[in-house]
Chain A
Amino acid sequence: DAMVIQNPRYQVTQFGKPVTLSCSQTLNHNVMYWYQQKSSQAPKLLFHYYDKDFNNEADTPDNFQSRRPNTSFCFLDIRSPGLGDAAMYLCATSQTSGSSYNEQFFGPGTRLTVL
């Protein structure tokens, strides 16, 4: 009964070679988030979709892009990965409306290695 699924769990790419990480959910939540987490640090929000509305964080590099073709799926594209992009990438979802905020459910993450 997986709720937030991320594929692949481990991804190895070469410096500068584009990579796409995927996230899917069975919860039918309206908000989907992408976080970057480096060792011993808090998850860092890259961007999120509130329904179809894209919300980018001010300090997210242009190298990171996202797509949400439908409610269930969200993708993270790294156009030209650098060594500093090696990290765990976490997808999360929540059902949020107006001023009511609810729990974020995290996926298991994708560990990205850049060679």
Chain B
Amino acid sequence: GENVEQHPSTLSVQEGDSAVIKCTYSDSASNYFPWYKQELGKRPQLIIDIRSNVGEKKDQRIAVTLNKTAKHFSLHITETQPEDSAVYFCAASVLRGGNKLVFGAGTILRVKS
């Protein structure tokens, strides 16, 4: 089945710097890759997603890149702000055995002001 690995597990950056979180997946049939942000005590919320027919997608300070050949995708946050501090989860879609997402283990991002 699908396996998603996420690195790093924790990331500390200075306010204004960039942050990059990387994920790899194993199932070449996966075609949808979302990123969720979860603040303490709150629900995961989608911040950006990408489909397999696109290599890069950007939304203001957030961008995601996808390399289908290497089976990895990355989240890029530029000009980080303290409110970006949260846990970030990547995920990959699985269509065999149902329609579901397999999540990475998460990255705790701390933005120091």
Contact = CB atoms under 8 A, between A and B. Distances in A.
Contacts of B106: 40-42
Interface in B50-66: none
A42 B104 contact: yes
Contact of A103 (B31, B46, B100, B108): B46
A102 to B, nearest CB: 8
Interface in B61-75: none
B74 to A, nearest CB: 18
Nearest to B90: A42
Contacts of B45: 106
B49 A103 contact: yes
Interface residues of B, number: 23
Given A42-B89, A43-B44, A101-B95, A33 B100 contact: yes
A38 to B, nearest CB: 12
Interface string A18-42: 0000000000000101000000111
Nearest to B44: A106
Nearest to A42: B103
A90 B31 contact: no
A107 interface: yes
Interface-central residue, A43, A48, A53, A55, by most chain B CB under 10 Å: A43
A51 to B, nearest CB: 10
7 contacts: A43-B103, A50-B99, A90-B43, A99-B95, A101-B31, A101-B93, A108-B42
Interface of B: 31-32, 34, 42-46, 49, 87, 89, 93, 95, 97-101, 103-106, 108
Considering the complex of A and B, which 9 residue pairs feature the smallest CB-CB distances, nearest first? A55-B98, A101-B32, A42-B103, A106-B43, A101-B93, A96-B99, A106-B44, A42-B106, A103-B46
Interface of A: 31, 33, 40-43, 45, 48, 50, 53, 55, 90, 94, 96, 99, 101-109
Given A48-B98, A55-B100, A104-B46, 13 more contacts: A31-B99, A33-B100, A41-B105, A42-B89, A43-B89, A43-B103, A50-B99, A90-B44, A99-B31, A99-B95, A101-B32, A103-B46, A104-B101
